[in-house]
Chains A and B, each alone.
Chain A
Amino acid sequence: MFELHSTEDVLRLAALVSAVLAIAILVWYLVQRPALNRATKIVLLFGLGVMPMAVALAGNIAGFEYTLKREFCGSCHVMRPYVEDAADPTSTSLASIHSRNSTFGHESCYTCHADYQIFGAVTTKMNGMRHLLMYVTEYANTGPYGEGGPKIHMYKAFKNTMCTRCHSTEAPRWAAVEDHAGMLEDIRKGEAKCLDCHGGDKIHPRALAHGGNGRAPAGATGEPAAPAHGEHHGEKKE
């Protein structure tokens, strides 16, 4: 269950070891009920304070690390069309190509969608809480792909900085593309959007295959595609 491949695994193990030690101390106290002398107080301080704090600290960091993973994003069923495409080795979508990157592919959702500023991680996590609320209030029991729920859309427009933090616009190979060279300044200023050319079904084709999100992949149900519930209300900003 626990193979130590990353810092996150080490933290999880540290948290579990601390938890076991704390539980052992607390159970000992509950069973033995020793007098509250100095030694007992010190032992209890470890069981009630030091060890649980270690669990909280290591557990929090490991938890936050886990929330960066594509696996975590896919734990809500409405994200299935997105993560299935991203994980498909034969897919040529941008999401899938980025997900095959050995450096960040396992965190591809977060890498491309997290806010890019000093408090970017915080605002991204706050949006994550909003996702959770929306999931509970609007998408629970909406079918295996969330097809019965309202159309999914981004909270705010996808900025070029999400792309240019990696694609710096300086690389010769990138600049050699005629369209890039022709509107370099506009791209850098954000007046021309990367998604104007690379957006829509080029990114998440499986989710957009039927003109809306939260749909089973084509052919999965054998039924013809129908307009998404609430599709006419929502606006796809991607």
Chain B
Amino acid sequence: MKLPTITKITIRRLVLISTFTTLASLFLMVASILFPGPFLLVVAMSVGQLFGTMSIVLYLLAIAFDLQGFGEHDDVLPQPED
């Protein structure tokens, strides 16, 4: 099985997805704090925290890829064949 190529863009996309899932998670958690009720509390403590966990995992994954040097040579143009 061929693994997908990890580029700088992949890493930035992971961070971007992580950012949006965190915002969604924060929205749910803040809503449950401002308007506490059975449904919002349950949703915030389940879906909200699932999103939050997912976002930190994605971010750490992105950082791990970045530290491993993935995509470091993305901006190096291929040499023309002589």
- Interface of A toward B, CB cutoff 8 Å: 12, 15-16, 19, 22-23, 26, 29-30, 36, 41, 44-45, 47-49, 52-53, 55-56, 59-60, 62-63, 66-67, 72, 75-76, 128-129, 132, 135
Contact = CB atoms under 8 A, between A and B. Distances in A.
Q: Which size bracket describes the interface of B in this complex? A: 20 to 34
B22 A52 contact: yes
B42 A129 contact: yes
Q: Main SS of the interface on chain B?
A: helix
Nearest to B38: A132
B80 to A, nearest CB: 29
A23 B23 contact: yes
A36 B11 contact: yes
Contacts of B11: 36
B36 A63 contact: yes
Nearest to B41: A63
Interface of B: 11-12, 15-16, 18-19, 22-23, 25-26, 29-30, 32-34, 36-39, 41-42, 44-45, 48-49, 52, 55-56, 59, 63, 66
- The A contact surface, by secondary structure, is helix
Given A29-B15, A59-B29, 17 more contacts: A16-B34, A19-B26, A26-B23, A36-B15, A41-B66, A47-B22, A55-B26, A55-B29, A55-B30, A56-B48, A59-B44, A62-B33, A63-B44, A63-B45, A66-B41, A67-B41, A128-B38
